[in-house]
Structure 1
């Protein structure tokens, strides 16, 4: 049981990221001081939304540079703090040329570097880590091996590797490493957040995020001919941000937390958009036959093995522990997708 001093600054790594930006905003709105790390302070485009928060909250927000792959890079940032929220990790599933270099190294090395810094800085009491449901399961077909096709926090992804679902593999390795490092000491404890596919309004106007890209494809006719008949867990980015803060400041919080509002078919996203925006967007109206996904899937980064293991397979995610342990409540996916579309429109992204 760790009680965190809310007068001390909270460290958020990867501060300009989709989830992290909301964590930073909420912490500042609650009157807390934040030290957020970014890759480069010179990249004004990437950190524009954080600079806006800095204008608003002044000295309450400190932006610092840190490199996931550099030993000791986080020592100074973490000095004198009790709570570290480590969100920094690459998230993309398409266009991967070297999975080891693009995904595994930054996820694994980054986690190692941040936690080794926590070991060196004697004030740290708790680390909250952003993992993923990808560390719990790889493909939907894996659900055939678990009771009621339902994954819980007890389960671990055992079927990903460097060539199959490398993103899921990187998250699994990084989370396992975090638990190993945590076990070797007793001063700080580890609380892990495992979100499903994170959607909802972004605080930045960037287009390079996987979630934004997914929604853009959904709205602009890329999936016009139909979508794969696959189920996915979805969760609002604002609820995921709240989960991290609750995990940090709830003294009894412990373990892993599946953070997912609902599992719906991919077509369910299109249905919600159509219900709310009518014919404004060119959303898909049906599922693609599996045979066709084998043919055109690779153009969208869907390998044959992905198609085989996910199309038409069951999937359930049990989110009860996130509610009971953290007191988290979930907003409806209707609100998530509507707010997401509106934000993209306002930001000129569609």
Structure 2
């Protein structure tokens, strides 16, 4: 696939990861057709227009909705590459997980890829998936073993880890649609927990919630012994471009820089920003998490039993072979928390 200027459609253009994808595409001189729910909502898209003004590429925004099967035909016209990043991201506050998460993720993927089937110019699709599609619980793998692209999440359901289930259900739907045709090929990017600066202070990434809770002292008494794969948003975006423009790219790519615990994150932040922020210093014993965890947020005792106290390891060799170069998690967290301070989300404290 040529790296000459292309026309690339990016769904969910106002999103955290999508912003960086669009930045890199525009800087490389590509034309971007971005879909958003409301192209006239300045708070969501102003940063995208600013990126376009500063770059040689061209940006065109289109209105589209995941559950509107016909809304992706117009923005798809003339596109060589489709990057499907749009997916519902809701962790709590819903009563019906299927309606809030699973149906929009699966039907949205189906609607977007069926539109790709109707557009004869599309030759490659890059899907933003997740390591949630690779595994659901830390206990899915024997202690010490590494998750690889060969693994699939079979432990999640609409009733247990519904967000994770929505991701694996959507990716499976994508592969099903891909396998039923032969014109375009599919690459999936499967990142861990994504950290790093946002191109807008309106970011609603899950990772920023952890940083806010730590910086504001909500977790000062301790954190559960939870471990997950972390990755920088800029590496995730670059992986999408590598997946799109590397001719031999194919299949799934786990994007994880390294595995870190919540206490590791606190220690890295303390090293960078000093001890005058209330970063936690202790692990909360698992029995205490078991007792009080479900009262403090969208976490179940089933999740606690299968994840707290268990390590998770990932093999990122495929992504490295693709050309991804990882920065350290410490650098990523420093950049992300610095933005949190700059945006006034946590009060800056003098040393």
TM-score by length of 2: 0.95
1:121-142: CA deviation from partner (whole Å, max 9, x where unpaired): 0011000000000001001011
Q: Is the 8 A contact 1:4 1:248 kept in 2?
A: no
Q: Which runs of 4+ in 1 moved over 6 A?
A: none
After superposition, what is the alpha-carbon deviation per residue over 1:152-194, rounded to whole angstroms, capped at 9, x for unaligned?
0001000100110000100000000000000011100000000
The answer (yes or no) to whether the contact 2:214–2:280 under 8 Å persists in 1 is yes
Counterparts of 1:51 and 1:348, CA distance in 2: 24
Q: Give distance in 1, aligned partners of 2:311 and 2:204.
A: 30
1:271 aligns with 2:231: no
Match of 1:84 among 73, 82, 93: 82
**Structure 1 match to 2:349:** none
Within the candidate set 248, 255, 273, 1:252 is matched to 248
Check the 8 A contact 2:9/2:83 in 1, yes or no: yes
RMSD: 1.4
Question: Aligned partners of 2:145 and 2:57: how far apart in 1?
Answer: 49
Q: C-alpha deviations, 1:83-116, integer Å up to 9, x for none?
A: 0000000223233322111111111011101100
TM-score (normalised: structure 1): 0.95
Q: Which residue does the alignment assign to 2:171?
A: 175
On the 8 A contact 1:207/1:213 being kept in 2, the answer is no
* 3-state SS of paired residue (1:180): helix
Q: In the TM superposition, what is the alpha-carbon distance from 1:217 to its structure 2 partner?
A: 0.9
Counterpart-to-counterpart distance in 2, 1:94 and 1:126: 34
Q: 1:345 aligns with which of 326, 338, 341?
A: 341
* Number of the residue aligned with 1:105: 103
Kindly state the Cα deviation for residue 241 of structure 1 after the two structures are TM-superposed.
0.3
Q: Do residues 262 (structure 1) and 247 (structure 2) align?
A: no
Match of 2:34 among 27, 36, 47: 36
Contact 1:322 1:328 in 2 (8 A): yes
Give the one of 299, 302, 319 matched to 1:302: 299
How far did residue 44 of structure 1 move?
A: 1.7
Deviates more, 1:187-196 or 1:294-303: 294-303
Mapped contact 2:217–2:279 kept (Cα < 8 A): yes
Aligned to 1:201: 197
1:125–1:189 CA contact under 8 A, matched in 2: yes
Deviation at 1:33, TM superposition (A): 1.4
- Per the alignment, residue 162 of structure 2 pairs with 166
Distance 2:279 2:332 in 1: 17
Equivalent residue number for residue 53 of structure 1: 51
2:254–2:319 contact (8 Å) kept in structure 1? yes
Runs of 5+ in structure 1 lacking a partner?
Answer: none
How far the C-alpha of 1:149 sits from its partner, in A, is 2.1
Q: In the alignment, which residue of structure 2 is the partner of 1:133?
A: 131
Task: Tell me the SS of whatever aligns to 1:40.
Answer: coil
Aligned residues: 345
Residue by residue, what CA displacement relative to the aligned partner does 1:259-308 show, whole Å, maximum 9, x if unpaired? Answer: 00000111100000000101232111010011111222121322111110
The structural deviation recorded for 1:327 is 1.1
Change in Cα spacing, 1:35 to 1:27, as seen in structure 2 (3 Å) is same
- Contact in 1 for aligned 2:201/2:343 (Cα 8 Å): yes
Query: Which residue, out of 25, 28, 33, partners 1:27?
Result: 25
| 1:149–1:314 CA contact under 8 A, matched in 2 | no
Which of 300, 312, 317 is residue 320 of structure 1 equivalent to?
317
